């Protein structure tokens, strides 16, 4: 009974993390070398998903593209979190190209997007990202000299917060994590103002974009106030480590 429960928990965890990982583990249970069977099955399912997902209104962002739009880490692709609707894919490509046109060599990095199948399936820990029309973008960063193409402060682009004034007070339940213990480990790069301002203005002017979430102190610092650029609320995740954008 305990073994059955453990396998059930593994299936649930892998499903929550990758959407299709639970299926792969369930198949692997029929093989003696379960870990190897899981890796092979999961890899095969992930590759097949690239061709199946369009039937569910999703397309995979290219994980090996070295152009102006890039997926920040291979981990997002390995976990099947790099899927978007065709319209959002077009918006992201055009936005990255526009930033690159204004600032040649700029690299726009996508973080979490969506899973490949089924509207309403949660992409935890996000409160949304469940319909193919949402994506997170990493900030553009610079060192003491200049802009750093394709570079972020933390390994996955999240949780390296830009500190600033806030009216939020601790509440429970909340996803507004500070992760103070992690902050000293991140690279000490600064927000690159020109490219971050440009991408927010480009997204704001795009009629297909409905909402953009960025912390108010960064909106003020970058001087990008716009009706589409909003505060996500005190119980949602902080948005001074990335940009959240979604279609109408």
Decide if pLDDT at 244 tops 90. yes
Q: What are phi and psi of 21, to 5 degrees?
A: -65, -35
CB atoms under 10 Å from CB of 201, counted, come to: 18
pLDDT-derived band at 167 (thresholds 50, 70, 90) equals confident
Cα–Cα distance for residue pair 27/39, rounded to 1 Å: 11
At residue 9, the 3 state secondary structure works out as: helix
Q: What is the pLDDT of residues 175-200, one digit of tens each?
A: 888 999 999 999 999 999 999 999 99
CA dihedral defined by 161, 162, 164, 166, rounded to 10 degrees?
Answer: -40
Q: What domains does the chain contain, in order, with CATH numbers?
A: 1-56 (no CATH), 60-247 (3.30.1380.10)
Tell me how far the alpha carbon of residue 194 is from its chain's centroid. Answer: 22
More confident of the two residues 127 and 184: 184
Cα–Cα distance for residue pair 138/106, rounded to 1 Å: 12
pLDDT score, position 146: 95
Q: What is the mean pLDDT of the chain?
A: 95
Q: What is the pLDDT of residues 22-41, one digit of tens each?
A: 999 999 999 989 999 999 99
Decide if pLDDT at 1 tops 90. no
> DSSP character for 147?
B
pLDDT score, position 175: 85
Q: Are 198 and 104 in contact (CB under 8 A)?
A: no
pLDDT-derived band at 174 (thresholds 50, 70, 90) equals confident
pLDDT-derived band at 152 (thresholds 50, 70, 90) equals very high
pLDDT score, position 2: 82
pLDDT score, position 169: 84
> DSSP character for 80?
T
57: left (phi over 0), alpha (psi -120 to 50) or beta: left
More confident of the two residues 226 and 3: 226
Decide if pLDDT at 3 tops 90. no
SS3 content of the chain, % helix, strand, coil (to 5): 40, 15, 50
Please give the structure tokens belonging to residue 236.
């949602």
Cα–Cα distance for residue pair 46/124, rounded to 1 Å: 19
Cα–Cα distance for residue pair 236/42, rounded to 1 Å: 31
Q: What is the pLDDT of residues 116-126, one digit of tens each?
A: 999 999 899 98
pLDDT score, position 127: 80
Cα–Cα distance for residue pair 39/49, rounded to 1 Å: 15
Decide if pLDDT at 4 tops 90. no
């Amino acid at each position: 009974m305990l073994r059955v429960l453990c396998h059930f928990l593994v299936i649930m965890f892998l499903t929550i993390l990758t959407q299709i990982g639970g299926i792969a583990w369930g198949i692997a249970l029929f093989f003696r070398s379960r870990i190897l069977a899981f890796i092979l099955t999961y890899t095969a399912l992930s590759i097949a998903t690239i061709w199946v997902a369009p039937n569910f209104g999703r397309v995979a962002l290219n994980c090996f593209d070295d152009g102006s739009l890039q997926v920040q880490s291979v981990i997002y692709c390995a976990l099947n979190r790099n899927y978007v609707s065709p319209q959002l894919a077009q918006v992201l490509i055009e936005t990255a190209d526009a930033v690159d046109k204004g600032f040649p060599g700029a690299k726009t990095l996508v973080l979490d997007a969506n899973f490949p199948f089924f509207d309403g399936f949660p992409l935890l820990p996000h409160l949304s990202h469940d319909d193919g029309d949402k994506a997170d973008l990493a900030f553009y960063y610079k060192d003491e000299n200049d802009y750093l193409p394709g570079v972020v402060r933390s390994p996955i682009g999240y949780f390296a917060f830009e500190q600033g004034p806030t009216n939020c007070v601790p509440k429970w339940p909340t996803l507004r994590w500070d992760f103070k213990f992690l902050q000293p480990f991140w690279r000490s790069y600064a927000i690159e103002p020109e490219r971050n301002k440009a991408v927010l203005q480009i997204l704001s002017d795009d009629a297909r974009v409905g909402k953009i979430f960025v912390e108010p102190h960064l909106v003020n610092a970058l001087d990008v106030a716009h009706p589409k650029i909003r505060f996500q609320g005190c119980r949602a995740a902080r948005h001074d480590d990335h940009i959240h954008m979604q279609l109408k």
